[in-house]
Amino acid sequence: MDNPFKITEGGVEYSLGKFNGKSVLYDFDKILIYLDAKGKLLFGEKFKIYDEDKDILLKLCNYFICDKENCKKNGIDPDKGILLSGPVGCGKTTLMKLLRHIVPVQRSYEMIPCRNVIFSFNHLGFKTIEDYGNTKFFCFDDLGIEPPGRFYGKDLNVMGEVLLSRYELYLQSKHRIKTHATTNLNAEELEERYGNRVRSRMRELFNLIAFDEGAGDKRK
């Protein structure tokens, strides 16, 4: 791809910034125009970028375009993944599905509902944990509200085990193997759900970016 900051969708070319001969200087307003257009293509004409989400979007965009200066200002580590938290219906899943498109040259991640991981474990057992402990990039959607896993009568906190596997992988890989997730739970609730050990690993795996607790349900 000659111009990674230019993306064509539906026959229209969107420029996300300009090239100064060394690097791309991204323009947040232009990124928003592209995200609005791409969002409508992916999710339908009712999709819109909400003004109250722009702060979150700016942080996420800085992360995805690897703007090191702005990431540093916001305490974001570009080597870690994103844990996007917020109330039900605030748009976490939509944003994580959408934002991977602004950097088509970067390695993308697969969106996986956590409940699907549990269903897989209930059928296949521990092979599931191996399957998700591989070198693919994943975004685990709706972390913390998945049902418990059970295989041959044994209960297991499956997503906790998957996160521990992903953490080991993250430590071993020179090119950091990224794990992202969305959750409705806060830090205390996550610790209650997965225990202190997993929670401390999550701090090393993820940058926490949180919607305001009062963020409205956009699905209504």
Sheet of 110-113: strand order equals 110-113, 138-143, 179-183, 81-85, 206-210
Each residue of 190-207: pLDDT tens digit?
Answer: 999 999 999 999 999 999
Instruction: Categorize the per-residue pLDDT at 4 as very low, low, confident or very high, splitting at 50, 70 and 90.
Output: low
Which tokens belong to 60?
């996420």
Q: Rounded to whole angstroms, how far apart are CA atoms 197 and 200?
A: 5
Sequence ranges of the domains in the chain: 76-210
Alpha helices in 48-89 (DSSP H): 54-64, 68-73
Each residue of 102-159: pLDDT tens digit?
Answer: 988 788 899 999 999 999 999 998 899 999 988 889 999 999 999 889 888 888 899 9
Q: Rounded to whole angstroms, how far apart are CA atoms 47 and 63?
A: 23
Q: Rounded to whole angstroms, how far apart are CA atoms 38 and 44?
A: 9
Q: Which CATH class is domain 76-210?
A: alpha beta
Each residue of 135-148: pLDDT tens digit?
Answer: 889 999 999 999 88
Res. 1: pLDDT tops 60? no
For residue 78, the cross-strand partners are: none
